[in-house]
Structures are given as C-alpha cells and as structure tokens.
C-alpha cells in the first residue's frame, strides 16, 4: 500500500508539473521516440494561463500547488546542478520560499511544548509573524536580561505537521529515484537514490533547530576575529528542537541595492568582504554557509555583513580543501598537468584513465580564460566547466564539492550585483594565496608530517587488536574456501522480500502511470 500511495502522489506531482507548463518549458525539440511524444502531449495539456509565463514562474506556480515539501525539494535540487543541469538549477534557486503564516497561538503552543515553559515566562513580548517559509516562520520578540535591560530577538518556530508531510512525500521521491536508477542508464552515474538520501538527511537536520543553532555557534567561534563578518548570537535558554531564538539583526538586506546606497555603504568593499569571508570559511575552517543568497545577508551600519538562516551548511575535509586550492592555483599558473594529477591523487577520477588525456581536457577549459580581462573571468563558471569535463572521465558525484560550487556561484553573483566590475581573482588572491603558502609550503609539510606521526602512533596502539581481527578473518576465509558462502534462513528470506518489493514498486508505478495516461486520453476525446 505504501508503494501504491507513493505512486499516486508521484503521478499527481507529474500532472501538476504538466498542467503548469514545467515539462513543456524544457527543451524537447531534439527528443525522439516516446520521450518526444510525451513532451508534445505535455505541451497540449499545459494550461493556457501557464503558456504566457516564463520557465521559473511556471516552476514557482507548480511548487506552490504541490506544497512545502516540494519547495524544499526544489531548493535542494538548486544545489545540485550536476543532477538537474545549470539552467534548471538557476530557475530553482529563484523559487521564493514564502508560505502562508500560521496563527501565533499555534507558534506559542509549539514553543511551550518544545521548551516546557509558557511563552509569557520566556519572552517579555511576542509579536505576530514577520516571515514564513516552508519549514518555519519567524516572530519578533523581546527578552528581559539579568540586568533588567530588554533585548530584541527573532524567534523561529517549526511549521506544525511539516515533518509528517515531508516524510510522506519522501516516499514518492524515493520511488522516482529507484525507477530512474533502474530504467535510465545515463542517470545511474548521478546516483539518484543517494541524492534522495542526502535530501532526506539535510532536511531532517534543517527541521531540528538545535542543529541550526549549533552551526551558528560554530561559525560564530570561527569568525570571532574576522573583520566585517559575523552571524547572530544564539539564545540557548530559549532554543529547542522546534524553536530557535537568536539576536534580532538591524541592517539592510543585501538584496536591497538602493537601500545600501542610501545608507552610505561602499558596495565594492562589501562585495570584496563577502567573497573573502566565504573563502576563509571554506579553506581555513572547512565549514561554510551553504545558502548565502542576498535574502540571508544583512549589512549593518558599520558595513559588517551578518549571515542568517544557517539551515544548510557545507563541510570540506583537509583533502577537499587542498584539492580546491591546488586546482585554483593550477589554473592561475596554467599548470594543467598538476590540476589533473590532483584529481587522481584525491581519488576523484579512476586510475583507469590517462592523466595526460585528462590534463588535455582541462587545458581546453583553462586556456580560453587567459585571454580575457580578469574582471570578466568567473571562478564559479570555471568550476562548473571543470565538473562538466569530469563527467567524461567517470568522476563520481561529490556532494560536498557540488554544494561548494553552487554556493560559490551564488556568492560571486551577489558580488557582481554589488560591483559589476568585480575582479574575482584579484579579490580572492590574498585568501587563497595565504592558504597555499601556509598549507602547501614548508609549514604545511611539517603539519602533514605531524599528522602522519600521530596516525602511525594510533595504528601502533591498535596493532594487537588488528592482529587478532586478521587472525579471525583468515580462519573465516579458510572456512569459506572449504565449505562455500552460506546465508542463514532469515537472511535469505530478507533478500527475497527486498527484491520482490523492489520489483513490485516499479511494476505498480508503471501501471499507475499507464492508467493515468489512459484517463487523460479519454478526457481529451
């Protein structure tokens, strides 16, 4: 029954996408066979009112009809241009996560259930909502401090029922991913089921506001000494799973260009500060804000940038940070062989491919940019082209690198909005250059040696346990060689049930879709 319900929800979502013109807006002139027929039928079934809209407006209308879960799906897929393509990702990034507010009394009940105290005991005043999104809404409030002073805060409250709705829709997402992985061979490299698992995990994290508070706290510590950048402080006493209380930010949204000018801000300085701050977080800390669009960025009176809404954050390990710095440095110095070698050393490109051939493909990306003025060269565009080339060499999708690429596209776009002549390379050089000198020079070699010694000592401490495990493994392999690999009865039954369920879900979905197409055809006659 779960598979049937998921299939019906999937068909409903597809029908709404067709009616709102989303499918018809996709490029289909080059399609052949059944895909071409389906695209032409979608064009015939599109609402007349939808035909006059742009593609991004059609997406917005469809998502509004589908509900909050699909808003989150759209926002997540906007971070995965490797899955949906750059053009669709840009359209999805424009989706406005604005939903109807829910009553203040409901928010109060959510707060009291989460924190175990009445709202009147937590806040001196608690106002009506000022913004509402798919997962939560925000209220202005005031709290009385120990010294008797009053401080204004922003209170974020989870939308009631959103977890249940998301888990219900998630079943249909997984069904679509399984069907795609099974029947669309070209999509298997993108691992749609793994992508859906990532969506499920990131959204579950975003729905626990304690984790957003922890991310704010971590970035706050990382950037405490940074010039011109900060995040709001967290009121931990008034924060729980369903409620987050942070300081209220008085500033101009970075999306309000005229407001920034009217406040007397230096837009070029703000653009440089934004990009350098993002690169510091990425390279130095390995932890960055993953949703730095202009609506989440404020500029205070002294020019300090304040980033809010940290529901999406990205992490890079030391290997990924070195990978990023080395490829950027390699492009700057035109050392394409080194850029290629870094991909192989990191294990991103299989060793079955030829380093020289990969370096040649990278040269095709790098050479054209060296004849252009520096202010026209986009670092984000460069990474987009690079990840496109890696498709030819079987590079598996790296979620952390794709999120980094998407965030860099957004940050660089914001900077160019503030300063149309923005020079990405000149601005980033102080941060990238300093990181390379510290981590790839003599100091970096010493750090690597220290890490190697620490790893060796740890391995030496585990040697007795490893030896015992190796001995047990050897005995088990000998037994397998002598008697063969055997499953117990319960394991065999579990494998059978899983395979039957997998096959049944695909068959059910195909029958439901076929029935829906017959119904549509009858409606048209």
pLDDT of residue 445: 47
What is the distance between the alpha carbons of residues 453 and 180, in angstroms, rounded to a whole number? Answer: 46
Q: Which two tokens stand for residue 335?
A: 């050392």
One domain for residues 301 and 395: yes
- 468 within some domain: no
Residues in CB range of 362: below 8 A, 6 or more apart? 336, 339, 340, 386, 389
Are 185 and 273 in a shared domain? no
Domain holding 411, by residue range, is 251-440
pLDDT over 60 at 511, yes or no: no
Task: Answer yes or no: is 149 within a domain.
Answer: no
| Domain-ending residue, one of 393, 414, 440 | 440
Average model confidence (pLDDT) for the chain? 78
**198 & 255 share domain:** no
- The predicted pLDDT at position 109 comes to 94
For 95-157, what is the HEC assignment?
CCCCCCCCCHHHHHHHHHHHHCCCHHHHCCEECCCCEECCCEEEEEEEEECCCCCEEEEEEEE
Distance CA 215, CA 354 (A): 41
Phi and psi torsions of 383, nearest 5°: -65, -35
338's tokens: 């080194």
Q: Is residue 6 domain-shared with residue 85, that is, in the same domain?
A: yes
Same-domain check for residues 323 and 408: yes
Going by pLDDT thresholds of 50, 70 and 90, the confidence category of residue 348 is confident
pLDDT at position 309 over 80: yes
Measured CA to CA in angstroms, residue 410 lies from 272, 312, 316, 401, 443 at distances of 14, 14, 18, 14, 33
| Residue 209 domain-assigned (yes or no) | no
Instruction: Supply the pLDDT for residue 81.
Output: 61
Higher per-residue confidence, 88 vs 234:
234
- Domain presence at residue 364: yes
For the chain, helix, strand, coil in percent to 5 are 65, 10, 25
Q: What is the pLDDT of residue 56?
A: 61
Same domain as 331, residue 255: yes
Model pLDDT for residues 428-476, shown as the tens digit of each residue: 888 888 888 888 655 544 554 555 555 555 555 666 776 777 777 777 6
Q: Does 145 reside within a domain?
A: no
Choose the final residue of a domain: 440, 461, 490. Answer: 440
Domain end, chosen from 178, 204, 230, is at: 204
Flag the least confident range among 114-128, 327-341, 461-475.
461-475
Task: Report the alpha-carbon distance of residue 206 to residue 400 in Å, rounded.
Answer: 17
Express each pLDDT in 354-386 by its tens digit.
889 888 988 888 787 666 665 666 766 676 677
**Residues 93/86, Cβ–Cβ less than 8 Å:** no
Which range scores top for mean pLDDT: 187-191, 272-276, 317-321, 375-379? Answer: 272-276
What is the per-residue pLDDT across 238-288, written as a single tens digit (0 to 9) for each?
999 999 999 999 999 998 999 999 999 999 999 999 999 999 999 999 999
- pLDDT bin (cut points 50, 70, 90) of residue 236 is very high
> Do the beta carbons of residue 484 and residue 160 sit within 8 Å?
no
pLDDT reading at 66 higher than 80: no
Whether 333 and 428 map to the same domain: the answer is yes
**Residue 353: which region, alpha, beta or left (left: phi > 0; alpha: psi -120 to 50)?**
beta
Percent of the chain exceeding pLDDT 90 equals 26
For residues 188 and 140, which has the higher predicted lDDT (pLDDT)? 140
243, β-bridge pairs: 157, 240
Confidence category of residue 522, pLDDT binned at 50, 70, 90: very low
Reported as a single tens digit per residue, the pLDDT across 196-216 is 777 777 778 888 999 999 999
* Residue 514 within a domain: no
Q: Are residues 256 and 337 in the same domain?
A: yes
Q: Do residues 197 and 296 share a domain?
A: no
Best mean pLDDT range from 117-126, 354-363, 480-489 = 117-126
Question: Quick check: is 465 catalytic?
Answer: no
198 and 296 fall within a common domain: no
**Claim to verify: residue 177 and residue 29 sit in the same structural domain:** yes
In the set 91, 226, 291, 419, the catalytic residue is: 291
Residue 191 domain-assigned?
yes
**Angle in degrees, CA 463, 465, 467, rounded to 5:** 65
Is residue 499 scored above 70 in pLDDT?
no
Give mean pLDDT, residues 90-110. 78
Q: Does residue 334 lie within any of the structural domains?
A: yes
Same domain, 85 and 189: yes
Percent of the chain's residues with pLDDT above 70: 69
Number of domains in the chain: 2
């Amino acid at each position: 029954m779960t598979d049937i319900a998921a299939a019906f929800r999937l068909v409903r979502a597809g029908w709404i996408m067709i009616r709102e013109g989303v499918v018809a807006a996709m490029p289909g002139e080059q399609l052949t066979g059944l895909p071409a027929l389906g695209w032409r039928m979608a064009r015939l079934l599109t609402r007349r009112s939808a035909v006059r809209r742009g593609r991004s407006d059609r997406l917005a209308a469809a998502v509004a009809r589908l509900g909050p879960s699909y808003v989150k799906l759209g926002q997540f897929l906007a971070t995965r241009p490797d899955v949906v393509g750059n053009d669709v990702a840009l359209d999805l990034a424009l989706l406005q996560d604005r939903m109807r507010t829910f009553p203040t009394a409901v928010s109060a009940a959510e707060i009291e259930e989460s924190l175990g105290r009445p709202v009147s005991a937590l806040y001196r005043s608690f106002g009506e909502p000022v913004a509402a999104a798919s997962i939560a809404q925000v209220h202005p409030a005031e709290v009385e401090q120990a010294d008797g002073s009053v401080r204004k805060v922003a209170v974020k409250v989870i939308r009631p029922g959103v977890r249940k709705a998301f888990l219900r829709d998630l079943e249909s997402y997984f069904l679509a991913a399984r069907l795609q992985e099974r029947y669309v061979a070209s999509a298997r490299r993108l691992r749609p089921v793994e992508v859906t698992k990532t969506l499920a995990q990131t959204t579950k994290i975003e729905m626990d506001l304690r984790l957003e508070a922890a991310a704010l706290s971590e970035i706050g510590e990382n950037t405490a000494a940074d010039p011109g950048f900060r995040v709001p402080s967290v009121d931990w006493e008034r924060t729980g799973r369903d409620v987050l209380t942070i300081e209220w930010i008085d500033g101009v949204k970075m999306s309000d260009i005229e407001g920034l000018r009217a406040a007397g801000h230096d837009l070029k300085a703000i653009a440089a500060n934004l990009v350098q701050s993002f690169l510091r977080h990425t390279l130095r800390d390995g932890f960055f804000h993953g949703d730095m669009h202009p609506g989440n960025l404020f500029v205070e009176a002294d020019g300090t940038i304040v980033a809010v809404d940290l529901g999406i954050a990205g992490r890079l390990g030391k290997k990924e940070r070195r990978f990023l710095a080395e490829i950027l440095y390699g492009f700057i110095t035109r050392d394409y062989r080194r850029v290629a070698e870094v991909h192989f050393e990191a294990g991103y490109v299989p060793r079955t491919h030829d380093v020289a051939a990969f370096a040649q493909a990278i040269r095709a990306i790098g050479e054209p940019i060296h004849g252009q003025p520096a202010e026209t060269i986009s670092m984000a565009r460069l990474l987009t082209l690079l990840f496109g080339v890696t498709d030819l060499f079987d590079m598996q999708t790296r979620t952390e690198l794709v999120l980094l690429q998407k965030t860099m596209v957004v940050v660089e776009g914001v900077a160019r909005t503030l300063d149309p002549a923005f020079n990405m390379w000149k601005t980033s050089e102080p941060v990238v250059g300093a990181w390379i000198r510290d981590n790839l020079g003599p100091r970096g070699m010493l750090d690597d040696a220290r890490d190697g010694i620490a790893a060796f000592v740890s391995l030496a401490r585990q040697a007795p346990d490893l030896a015992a495990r190796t001995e047990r493994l050897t005995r088990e392999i000998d037994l397998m060689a002598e008697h063969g690999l055997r499953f117990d009865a319960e394991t065999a039954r579990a494998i059978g049930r899983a395979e039957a369920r997998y096959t049944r879900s695909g068959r059910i979905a195909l029958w439901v879709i076929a029935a829906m197409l017959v119904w549509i055809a009858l409606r048209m006659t």
